[in-house]
Structure 1
Amino acid sequence: MNSNDQHELFQQFPQLKEVANQHTVLWENTNWLAKPTTSLFSLQEVEEAQETLLRFSSYLKVTFPELMKSDGLIESSIKSIPAMKQALEEVFGVTIPGQLLVKCDHALPISGSIKARGGVYEVLKHAERLALASGKLKEEDNYAVLATEEWQTFFQQYTIAVGSTGNLGLSIGIMGKKLGFNVVVHMSSDAKEWKKAMLREKGATVIEYQADYSVAVEQGRQEAVQDPMCHFIDDENSKDLFAGYAVAAKRLKDQLEEADIAVDKAHPLFVYLPCGVGGGPGGVAYGLRELFGEHVHIFFAEPVASPCMTIGLMTGLHDAISVEDIGLNNKTEADGLAVGRASKFVGKVMEHYISGCYTVTDQELFTSLSLAMEREGLFLEPSAHAGMFGASRLWQKGQSYLEKHSLVNHMDQATHLVWATGGSMVPSAMRTAYLAKR
């Protein structure tokens, strides 16, 4: 993008200049609709994902003993964090009306991040597709049989590849190797060393790039095309990934009902989702809006150096604009969010679904990381802490949104949900290093 094009964009979208200067902003999506629809995805695909995961529950119980208690269900709890709410208010001088909860995807079984939803699901879906096509498995069979040596040998004929900054690669590497697949993970320069090491320990092949996430994905995609036995899990375009994430919505609805937390006009639900390329938060957002309609308000959170979804939605250019186009360097400690160009597929779906996006600094992430550990004994990796600032950003910078949607008088009855996207698998030495960066 040349300087004239950049100047024109700044003229057309004044808030984009603030984003380019790495100011913390809250962007309100004026294309939000009370009853959104999209032709790019359907609830039927979410229902099919739920059914597939149910068929695999017997296999998952056998191969991951930690899932015995949940009967093969990969799910996390919700938790109230009042001490963290108070800490954020004190340290940052903010107001957070209503209650603050955390959705504990940092503790999800198998791979300890939200990617244990979409990533694990797509691997299972691909395995099922191959197994059914072979004629050796039927949908009505007990899928625990897939844990046998015979099926391990069968899946060893095939390769699964993915481009990742870390957590998606981990989920696919762990699940893929467990089934018997060859797994190749194309890792960007932002990926943490411990994630690469863990993947190699599991038996996956890790290919490293000095470039960013987009290059790793593109290289992985090109190599996979040349191998008919290779399935590429495309984080930028995969509907299977999206469906796996969307399954979380119905489960959250059940959890809120069990906790007697109402979601209606007088009790609005605000959900804050850290966002990289967009698949995870996009799938969750789609499911939640389909279930709760206009009573759920969803904001994506991004680092000031990597606000790819913010600028894609703000300008309507989606993947045709990158953070580098407005002078940002895409360098952040929040490795899972270090993405310069958003998914076109997710951006187009989200145009009428999400309420907006906001940005956070790396320093805020580390301060929040330390506070959560001190006050709640809760450890999340830096990228997951982007969600912690949603309620205060909204109250400070989103008054027009609250007024437009007649929410101001209901904020004391609001529920704010931070979607904790990762953290339980971070090694102790890395945790110590993170805590020292406050």
Structure 2
Amino acid sequence: MANISGKKSTEYTSTLLDQLKDYQETFWKNPNYNTVLPTLSVDRNVIFQANRRLERFAPYLEDAFPDTKKSKGIIESPIQEMNEIRHFLSIDGCVLIKRDDLMPVSGSIKSRGGIYEVLCFAEDLAVKNGFNSESDDYSDLANEKFRRIFSQWQIEVASTGNLGLSVGLMASTLGFKARIHMSHDATTWKINKLRQNGVDVKIYDDNFSNAVAAARESSKQNPYSYFVDDEGSKLLFAGYATAGERVKKQLSDMHIEVSKNKPLVVYLPAGVGGSPSGVAFGLKLQFGDAVIPIFVEPTHVPSVLLGMATGLDHDISVYDLGLDGKTAADGLAVGRPSMIAGRYMKNKLFGIATVSDQNMFAYQGMLKKLENIEAEPSAVVGIRGLIQSKEIAEIPDTATHLIWSTGGSMVPAETMREYEDHAITIFNQTHFE
């Protein structure tokens, strides 16, 4: 258990910790926001190269996944306006939603990072076996020669669901064996979806952080195993960060100005913190101070908030604080933050809001009833940040607000109906200021 008594006490207050212990909705403003820190190993060039690698793989992806044909093999999601919610919540600026629930292949924000890391490993193996990354057609990676090479390897990852879907589906499509290690928080339909696609799923009767440790150790025992480390992978991070370049183009095409006078405020659901950190990092590279990233976490699992506010980052868990880690937002049920999230976000994240499960369901009902958008519970928590923004002095009325919807399109119809019936009932009973 981490010792938080008296350690880096200037970075948090007992009041904040008491609020977290009582499962209260709160907002933590990052005191290090926009300070100058040492250069990090993932930089603008790394992210630029990641985008170019994904473009090289586009011909393969277009053939392998028919739903990417319209985008010519580029895995990306649309941005749309949400005028009904803007009026309902009395927001002055434009309100948008980034539809990562519609991401091709695996229907979540995890598609960027998970698919990118698998493709990096596949490219590395192919090059070692005669493939020329500068002149050969990447569609050739579907040939039997490379499938035989890939089939000798097993790709493994620990996941509460969405990252497992992304890694598992991409790995199995290329011809790799895939094993997904899942914590007890994983939902049945995600387990079934993976198994239906030939992916080996191992379930642990334990929380996510311990499942990761067990999975990492299991992978070490197999010399032909490649482990995708959700807690510390820079390739995952780089894959997520490719969103920045894409979002900049999308907003430009929509004729939406982003500047210091008209900032872009982005609300990102956070679990282990890797995917929202990568996205925020990529946006910061493109927009600088004109983008204001805010994370949102469940009150029962505020792992990134706890790590960043105490300065202990990965060395503290919500269980150290006595929290139970239980939430309906299975994709955010991660008790210990990423090894790199706090380090890369230390001066780039404006703050973190927490949301109760009750309000999370109300937001899910709001999204469905007002905008007719279906999303899983963990994908709607950004609305809490939007509501919180009205109380933040640094966010002007001229701001554009972007809620990041992280998943939902692959939820079975029956499960989604059950979600929404419950969510709309709670929405109708909830008072919004």
TM superposition score normalised by structure 1: 0.93
Change in Cα spacing, 1:157 to 1:429, as seen in structure 2 (3 Å) is same
Question: How far apart, CA to CA, are the structure 1 residues paired with 2:54 and 2:37?
Answer: 27
Paired residue for 1:414, among 390, 399, 403? 399
Deviation for aligned residue 1:68: 1.3
Deviation for aligned residue 1:346: 1.5
SS at match of 2:422: coil
Question: How far apart, CA to CA, are the structure 2 residues paired with 1:21 and 1:115?
Answer: 31
Question: How far apart, CA to CA, are the structure 2 residues paired with 1:355 and 1:69?
Answer: 36
1:296 and 2:291 aligned: yes
Larger mean CA deviation between 47-56 and 121-130 belongs to 47-56
Question: How far apart, CA to CA, are the structure 1 residues paired with 2:369 and 2:268?
Answer: 23
Matches within 5 A, 1:18-417: 18-33=19-34, 38-87=39-88, 89=89, 95-396=90-391, 398-399=392-393, 402=394, 407=395, 411-417=396-402
Change in Cα spacing, 1:118 to 1:4, as seen in structure 2 (3 Å) is closer
Larger mean CA deviation between 289-298 and 414-423 belongs to 289-298
SS at match of 1:5: coil
Q: 1:35, 1:294 within 8 Å by CA — same for their partners in 2?
A: no
- Deviation string for 1:280-319 (max 9, x for gaps)? 0011111111111111110011000000000111110101
Larger mean CA deviation between 131-140 and 250-259 belongs to 131-140
Change in Cα spacing, 1:217 to 1:318, as seen in structure 2 (3 Å) is same
Deviation for aligned residue 1:55: 1.1
Question: How far apart, CA to CA, are the structure 2 residues paired with 1:72 and 1:433?
Answer: 34
Larger mean CA deviation between 9-18 and 28-37 belongs to 9-18
Q: 2:12, 2:309 within 8 Å by CA — same for their partners in 1?
A: no
Q: 2:2, 2:316 within 8 Å by CA — same for their partners in 1?
A: no
Q: 1:6, 1:325 within 8 Å by CA — same for their partners in 2?
A: no
SS at match of 1:203: coil
Aligned length: 422
Deviation for aligned residue 1:35: 6.3
Change in Cα spacing, 1:2 to 1:171, as seen in structure 2 (3 Å) is closer
Larger mean CA deviation between 354-363 and 143-152 belongs to 143-152
Which residue matches 1:435? Answer: 420
Q: 1:6, 1:326 within 8 Å by CA — same for their partners in 2?
A: no
TM superposition score normalised by structure 2: 0.94
Q: 2:8, 2:310 within 8 Å by CA — same for their partners in 1?
A: no
SS at match of 1:437: helix
Q: CA RMSD in A?
A: 1.9
Question: How far apart, CA to CA, are the structure 1 residues paired with 2:12 and 2:171?
Answer: 48
Deviation for aligned residue 1:12: 4.0
- Deviation string for 1:154-208 (max 9, x for gaps)? 2110010000000000001110000000000000000100000000000010000
Q: 2:12, 2:310 within 8 Å by CA — same for their partners in 1?
A: no
SS at match of 2:340: helix
Change in Cα spacing, 1:386 to 1:156, as seen in structure 2 (3 Å) is same
Q: 2:86, 2:92 within 8 Å by CA — same for their partners in 1?
A: no
> How high is the sequence identity, in percent, across the aligned residues?
42
- Deviation string for 1:130-169 (max 9, x for gaps)? 1101124443210101112232222110010000000000
Question: How far apart, CA to CA, are the structure 2 residues paired with 1:282 and 1:160?
Answer: 24
Question: How far apart, CA to CA, are the structure 2 residues paired with 1:383 and 1:135?
Answer: 43
Change in Cα spacing, 1:436 to 1:141, as seen in structure 2 (3 Å) is same
Q: 2:165, 2:194 within 8 Å by CA — same for their partners in 1?
A: yes
Q: 2:116, 2:236 within 8 Å by CA — same for their partners in 1?
A: yes
